[in-house]
A and B are shown apart, each in its own frame.
With several copies, the nearest count.
Chain A
Amino acid sequence: MFKKILIANRGEIALRVIYACRELGIATVAVYSEADEHALHVRFADQEICIGPPRPMDSYLNVPAIITAAELSGADAIHPGYGFLSESGYLAEAAEACGIAFIGPPPAVLRLMGDKSEARRAMKSAGLPVLPGTEDPPESVDEALEAAQGLDYPLILKASAGGGGRGMRIVREQGELEHAWRTAGQEAQAAFGDGRLYLERYVEAPRHIEYQVLADGHGSVVHLGERECSIQRRHQKLIEECPSPVLTERQRLELGELVTGAAAAVGYRNAGTFEFLMDGDDRFYFLEANARLQVEHPVTEMVTGVDVVKEQIRVAAGQPLSVTQQGITWNGHAIECRINAESPVTFRPSPGLVRVFSIPGGPGIRIDTAAHADCTVPPYYDSLVAKVIAHGVDRAEAVARMRRALSMTVIEGIETSVPLHLRILDEPDFRDGKLSTAFMDRFAGG
């Protein structure tokens, strides 16, 4: 097992990794930017190294600085968390070259999954259902127009290198394609340095269903069931749950088997998430795979009892998974609300000094946060300040617990999305489990 892990991240996920390391008896190294000098992940790591100024490019995205910090501190592994460099083939390879383990999939898998168009093709060959679309990214608008002939409108243009909604355009009819092609391509080029696009059938108001997968280096690949993350605003998930309110046990196991098969086919290792759309006719279509830990992993942990981060570390250290597919059971229901430092009305970020910070605990409540009274939410990074996760024997109890926890949450000094979450929880459609990625359209600014 590793002796010392460097955590190349900040905020609640850096703390989450510290929790796992402490439980496993592994020392930790925090890296931090000047903006995070007083952050909890710095305080609670066994060792800490300032790697740069606040701007992410200069610190948390600075591969040479992180590799150097790992070497100087004698860390034998790097956990990248989510976001930042978590899917960076460059970091994974650089670490490997220095004899430091990267706690994530092998570089080849990272690169495959990072190219959305390639990943789509690979998963299709591996037997996952995909939406009708282009196999190879069209090289010109004319090729795109031609490819669109064979598909049905509405279509959606997506960036091959993409994610997070950038370089994405819905195309409802042929006349819109040329303009969409140009603007999406420019956006993708600006965001990812790669303007390639691909076309796919567009599904109206689908559900977002994703599978948590774990794979070790001993041939074992398991899934921990699905999460439903249909409550999104501009492709940013707001509320996630496990299990989905609509999947049957049979659907869960059938799709799960396809997913683990596909993961095995591409040599997947460590933790990963396979995302699907579910249309109104209960058909699933592979969207993309996230080759890393997800923000919303706690809902799966609460329902299965499996500690995803500890499994990541075990697998990266060459150990087998501590669970088998047969040993995994799903108990009750869990929901996560992402509490962001932002206006619940305008969605504008609201960084600053947190004067009061209190989220009640009690039965079924898990809180993952790096915030506390008198901390500062710096303006340079993600606005996530806390994840509140509620578990209950069924969805109704989980929702009731989330409601009471959020209604008794007191955060002052910054604005947060708590009031928005309470509005969502009170929507009859939400209560009834009538979810879709179009759910948030009903809210102003959504």
Chain B
Amino acid sequence: MTDFDDIERLLDLMDARGLEELEVEREGLRVRFRKPGRSAAPLAAPPAPAPPAAEAAQRGDEADAGEAGLAIIKSPIVGTFYRSPEPGADPFVEVGSTVGKGQVVCIIEAMKLMNEIDADQDGEVVTIFVEDGQPVQYGESLFAVRPA
């Protein structure tokens, strides 16, 4: 069976991509693989307990950003996201701004404390995921930055 190497490569692919089932059909050859699924699933298909629409959208953005090789700045704490140092002041950054490592990009307020969040590398801000004044969870994406 000369296709053996191809099959192994398909299986590697299956592992690498975490596939559960794989079916390939072409002239003279049809291959179908399936892995025992379920193991990583929660009780059911994750029930999506009504995530805020913004969050859902953001997750999509994040995935896109990931594919484009962008760096994501995530919230290190639960709190309220502010784009400017005080009401009425200019935002720390805008889409298109160039930021340097260590530069403050926003504030997260938690328990009346203003926590400054820094860029962790040089680059250009390409997306701002959260609206000014919105609550953010731990680990929520705030900015996408294209590394310089």
Q: Do chains A and B touch in the complex (CB under 8 A)?
A: yes
A residues adjacent to B (C-beta < 8 A): 34, 38-40, 42-46, 48-53, 59, 64-65, 67-69, 71-72, 94, 353, 355-356, 358, 372, 374-375, 410, 412
In the complex, what distance in Å separates the CA atom of A38 from the CA atom of B44? 10
Q: How far is the CB of B49 from chain A (nearest CB, A)?
A: 6
**Cα distance, A412 to B41, chains bound together (Å):** 13
Q: Mark B22-63, 1 if CB is under 8 A from A, else 0.
A: 000000000000000011011111110100000000000000
The A contact surface, by secondary structure, is mixed
Q: Is the pair A50, B46 in contact by a Cβ cutoff of 8 Å?
A: no
In this assembly, does B78 line the interface, its C-beta being within 8 Å of a C-beta of chain A?
A: yes
Q: Is the interface of B mostly helix, strand, loop or mixed?
A: loop
Distance (whole angstroms) from the CB of B108 to the closest CB of chain A: 9
User: Which chain B residues lie closer than 8 Å to A358 at the CB level?
Assistant: 43
Cβ-based interface call for B110 (8 A): yes
Cα of A152 to Cα of B23 in the assembled complex, Å: 72
Q: A48-B49, A50-B137 are in contact. Are A68 and B110 (CB under 8 A)?
A: yes
A and B contact pairs by CB, cutoff 8 A, 10 listed:
A43-B49, A44-B49, A51-B137, A52-B78, A64-B77, A65-B138, A68-B77, A68-B111, A375-B43, A410-B44
Question: Which residue from B43, B49, B137 sits with its C-beta under 8 Å from A45?
Answer: B49
Q: Once bound together, how far apart are the Cα atoms of A355 and B41, in whole Å?
A: 11
- Compute how far the CA of A43 lies from the CA of B42 in the bound complex, rounded to whole angstroms: 9
Least CB distance from A297 to B in Å reads 25
How many residues on the B side are at the interface (Cβ–Cβ under 8 A)?
Answer: 22
Q: In the complex, how many angstroms separate the beta carbon of B54 from the nearest chain A beta carbon?
A: 14
Q: Assess A374 versus B110: contact at CB under 8 Å? Given A38-B46, A49-B137, A53-B138.
A: no
Point out the residues of chain A lying under 8 angstroms from B141, CB to CB.
Answer: none
| A65 adjacent to B110 (CB under 8 Å) | yes
User: When the two chains form the complex, which single residue of A38, A69, A94, A375 contacts B78, counting CB atoms closer than 8 Å?
Assistant: A69
Interface contact A50-B138, CB-CB below 8 Å:
yes
- From B44, B77, B79, B113, A356 is in contact (CB under 8 Å) with B44
Q: Does B135 contact A (CB under 8 A)?
A: yes
Chain A residues whose C-beta falls within 8 Å of the C-beta of B79 in the assembled complex? 68, 72
Chain B, residue nearest A44 (CB): B49
For B80, give the chain A residue with the smallest CB separation.
A72
Q: A34-B138, A68-B77 are in contact. Are A43 and B43 (CB under 8 A)?
A: yes
B135 touches A72 (CB 8 A): yes
Q: Smallest CB-CB separation from B51: which chain A residue?
A: A48
Which single member of A48, A51, A52, A374 contacts B42 (CB below 8 Å)? Answer: A374
User: Which of B45, B113, B138 is most buried by chain A, counting CB atoms within 10 A of its CB?
Assistant: B138
Decide if B139 is an interface residue (CB 8 Å cutoff): yes
A72 near B78: Cβ-Cβ < 8 Å: yes
A374 touches B43 (CB 8 A): yes
Bound complex: CA of A374 vs CA of B41, how far in Å?
7
Given contacts A64-B111, A68-B110, contact A51 B138 (CB under 8 A): yes
